[in-house]
Amino acid sequence: MPEISSYGDDSPITAFATTPGSSALTLIRCSGNGALNLAEKIFSEPEKLRQTAGNTVLHGWIVAANEKIDEVLISVFRSPKSYTGEDSLDISCHGGIAAGKGVMAALRDCGFRDALPGEFTFRAFMNGKLDLTRCESVMELVSARTDKGRGHAINRLSGVLEHEINATKKQLVQALSGVEIFLDYCEDEISAPADEAAGHFSGQRLVQETLARLRKLAQSWQRERIYQEGILAAIAGRPNAGKSSLFNLLLKEERSIVTEIPGTTRDWIEAAVSLEGIPLRFADTAGLRESLDPVEKIGVERSRDLLESAELILYLIDGTAGVTGEDRAFITGNRPPSQLLLIIWNKADIVPMPTTFPFTANGPIGVSAKTGEGIAELESAIVKTIEERLNTADEQPVSAAASLGTIRQKNLVEAVAAALEEALVLAERKEPLDLIAPLLREAVNSLGEITGEVSTADILEEMFSKFCVGK
């Protein structure tokens, strides 16, 4: 097999589109110049394959060295009507490990090479089938963890973000055109259009509008990031407060060890759960206390580090011990400014939650991790706490449902906004237009980078290499 270190050729490639394992079917994808001709060599019906129209399905056998490897269905796509824009085949083999492996070996032997990560989508981009925002949404879709995450990715796959970016770019190009005309006129020493000649940048209003649109878009990332990565919610409290019991209850499985011995949990553990479409990563931590036991000590240190990075802390008070000095110190102490905190009174089955507390904080909510009492209320409070934070972040909601899907897009949108802000400051100061023009050009360029209209081989390779193989 040839050593291919970079994307960019159109040779026939193949990859598993499904993970080989115990399943009814395995799907293998093939694409590239000459892919159909190569496949003829190992298909029991070569003539049919040669003559068939695109978008058809053929039944037959994969045969190698006169041996039937598997009975398959081949979906045939002819260029340009395929995902990649090239001649392509999807081979449905029997599931399990052996059938797929056998077919894959036959494909390699007849000349297909293994696809690089994301190479099919890369080719779709190069052949003008998808812009970069849609390519990225393909990956988002594959890794979407909740229905909402899926919905947002589908929006971008249908081009909502691409259209929004192109619309803002159009506005900006319009603003830039007045400046460019002036600069051209200057070169030719011909008199300029009135506005620009008087030193006024006539596109200020357009730039302001574009900037407002981009700011909304940049804000959408905060919500989007949460749908993609989830929120880290750490359960904290003194030893024996019932953290592991609550963790298990929220997960609906016995993941963490629960005993009546304080200091049971040593190393923190994490598990993913979705609450009303919000993906959460709950972490059970070691009970916070000064310990002489070297192992527990390390566990507590590691838990404290985790608590620093958590976006939400569920702080458990052991109802049977009441609010201790350590509880109060944690609740009223310094924490990262963006960190959310929800106070929980546990063991309410033994000691009901008091009506007043010696601190003000979000909550408290009375629960019993033993009987399940109050857990539904706790789950609603968690969702509400996160939603409130998201709503403050979304002071200007993204009306057109266009939202950003990747940090790459977010960085570029912010770069565009920064350039436009600077351009507006210069325009306000009535600075010469040849200082404003480069900023506007830079902004237009960065918008083009978002959709991939402007791109370099390095950027593309870096981006697609993060995709999974077979996509």
Nearer to Mg ion, 166 or 264 (CB): 264
Report how far residue 25's alpha carbon sits from residue 364's, in angstroms, rounded to the nearest whole number. Answer: 51
Site for ligand GTP in 355-384 (CB under 6 A): 368-370
Q: Confirm or reject binding of residue 156 to ligand GTP (CB under 6 A).
A: no
Q: How many CA atoms lie within 13 A of 136 on its CB side?
A: 25
Residue 77: strand pairing partners: 88
Q: Confirm or reject binding of residue 189 to ligand GTP (CB under 6 A).
A: no
Q: Confirm or reject binding of residue 287 to ligand GTP (CB under 6 A).
A: yes
Give the nearest distance from C-beta 334 to ligand GTP in angstroms.
22
Nearer to Mg ion, 168 or 244 (CB): 244
Phi, psi of 245 (to 5 degrees): -65, -45
Q: Interface mask (CB under 5 A) for Mg ion, residues 262-281, using x and -?
A: --xx----------------
Q: Confirm or reject binding of residue 243 to ligand GTP (CB under 6 A).
A: yes
Total residues binding ligand GTP (CB under 6 A) = 24
Nearer to Mg ion, 88 or 244 (CB): 244
Stretch touching ligand GTP by CB under 6 A, among 119-127, 218-226, 347-355, 411-419:
347-355
Tell me the three state secondary structure of residue 242.
coil
CA neighbor of 132 nearest in space, from 144, 142, 146, 118: 118
Report how far residue 114's alpha carbon sits from residue 215's, in angstroms, rounded to the nearest whole number. Answer: 42
Nearer to ligand GTP, 235 or 419 (CB): 235
Nearer to Mg ion, 265 or 409 (CB): 265
Find tokens 């009441």 and name the residue.
322
DSSP 318: E
Give the nearest distance from C-beta 370 to Mg ion in angstroms.
14
Say which entry of ligand GTP, Mg ion, none residue 220 contacts (CB below 5 to 8 A, set by partner kind).
none
Q: Confirm or reject binding of residue 258 to ligand GTP (CB under 6 A).
A: yes
Among 132, 241, 433, 440, binds ligand GTP (CB under 6 A): 241
Q: Confirm or reject binding of residue 350 to ligand GTP (CB under 6 A).
A: yes
Among 168, 202, 219, 244, binds Mg ion (CB under 5 A): 244
Nearer to ligand GTP, 214 or 286 (CB): 286
Tokens of 316: 């458990």
CA neighbor of 420 nearest in space, from 162, 204, 165: 204
Q: Are strands 269-275 and 278-284 parallel, antiparallel or unpaired?
A: antiparallel
Q: Confirm or reject binding of residue 330 to ligand GTP (CB under 6 A).
A: no
Neighbour tally for 15: CB within 10 Å: 23
Using the CB atoms, write b or e for 260-272: b if 16+ within 10 Å.
eeebbbbebebbe
Q: Confirm or reject binding of residue 245 to Mg ion (CB under 5 A).
A: no
Among 34, 263, 277, 448, binds ligand GTP (CB under 6 A): 263
> Closest CB to ligand GTP belongs to which residue?
287
Tokens of 92: 């449905």
Find tokens 């988002």 and name the residue.
140
- Angle (CA) 252 254 256, round 5°: 120
Q: Confirm or reject binding of residue 270 to ligand GTP (CB under 6 A).
A: no
Neighbour tally for 129: CB within 10 Å: 18
Residues that bind ligand GTP (CB under 6 A): 237, 239-245, 258-260, 262-265, 286-287, 346-347, 349-350, 368-370
